[in-house]
Amino acid sequence: MATDSKVHTFEEVSKHKDAKDCWLIIDGKVYDVTPFMDDHPGGDEVLLAATGKDATNDFEDVGHSDAARDEMQKFFIGHIDSSTVPANTAYVPPQQAPYNHDKTADFVIRILQFVVPLLILALAFGVRHYTKAE
């Protein structure tokens, strides 16, 4: 683990977001994971997707082992200035028009569910009656 305890701003960390220069923020700490890009079991895409934001939830959701947590300490380069990290915005779904239940269509479907089987039954009796008479 590096002894450097430099405090980085979010703006500074978010500039390091490609495969040749990748920094992550996890639990208020900054990690330069560039040397680990090729060795990460989930692939470098996973690490790149976690750049430019606080990746703590992404890291915790995967359920990393204690060995993985120990391994990441060698990539530690400092702390994040928490006052510079933007707040997570909650997802707000777009407004939808209220559902307008069409009662006429519902009535027609109920009638058809009753009438169609009766028509099929009547047709079957009619065919049976005319074929039996011959």
Pairing outcome for strands 6-8 and 76-80 = parallel
Rounded CA-CA distance 35/113 in Å is: 67
Does 17 score more than 60 pLDDT?
yes
Rounded CA-CA distance 101/82 in Å is: 49
CB burial class (10 A; 0-12, 13-18, 19+) of residue 83?
Answer: exposed
pLDDT range class, residue 2, cuts 50, 70, 90 = very low
How many C-beta atoms lie closer than 10 Å to residue 54's C-beta?
21
Q: Which of 44, 56, 36 is nearest to 18 (CA)?
A: 44
- At residue 108, the pLDDT reads 86
